[in-house]
Amino acid sequence: MSEERRRESYMIVFFFIISISILLGAVLIWVGLQGAPSGSINSMMQFLFGIITIAVAAKMMSDLMKTREKEKEHKYEVVTVLQCKNCGVKMERPTRDGEYVGMITEEKCQKCGTSSMIIRFIYCKTPLEQAVS
């Protein structure tokens, strides 16, 4: 969970850098245009550099968006199916680290309250819209 949050804040920083690059590029273009009537090479360079900066920032932005889309596509949930050793009731919840089939956990049964449940299955849940395609 904290890993995801760190990635999220990293994304925000990245977006921030891209926004600043676009702003910088816009300023460079503007400055270049201001000096354009004089026809100096310096203002032409500023103008060109501004366009390049914006182009690079736009490319980075689209790449980032693509990466995010891909990550969403690959998101799946791993779930564990537990069965109560006493009454046999089955329960499902997200898988935790280090779990394996046949492992006995000390979780409380929701039906009879016994604190002994055996892991029957661990499987990957694929979102329905992906399974169809």
Interacting residues toward Zn ion by CB under 5 A: 84, 86-87, 89, 109, 111-112, 114
Q: Is the dihedral of CA 73, 10, 26, 39 positive or negative?
A: negative
Listed residue (70, 53, 51) closest to 18, CA to CA: 53
Tokens 């919840």 appear where?
93
CB of 123 vs Zn ion, minimal distance in Å: 21
Residue placing its CB nearer to Zn ion in the complex, 110 or 130 = 110
- By the 10 Å C-beta count (0-12 exposed, 13-18 middle, 19+ buried), 89 is classed as middle
- In whole angstroms, how close is the CB of 92 to Zn ion at the nearest point? 14
Tokens standing for residue 81: 């199916």
Strand bridging mode 104-105 / 90-94: unpaired
Query: Measured between alpha carbons, how far is residue 33 from residues 12, 50, 76, 113 in Å?
Result: 32, 11, 50, 76
CB closer to Zn ion out of 48 and 87: 87
Query: For Zn ion, which is the closer residue by CB, 18 or 91?
Result: 91
Smallest separation (angstroms) from Zn ion to the CB of 90 = 10
Between 86 and 105, name the residue whose CB sits nearer to Zn ion.
Answer: 86
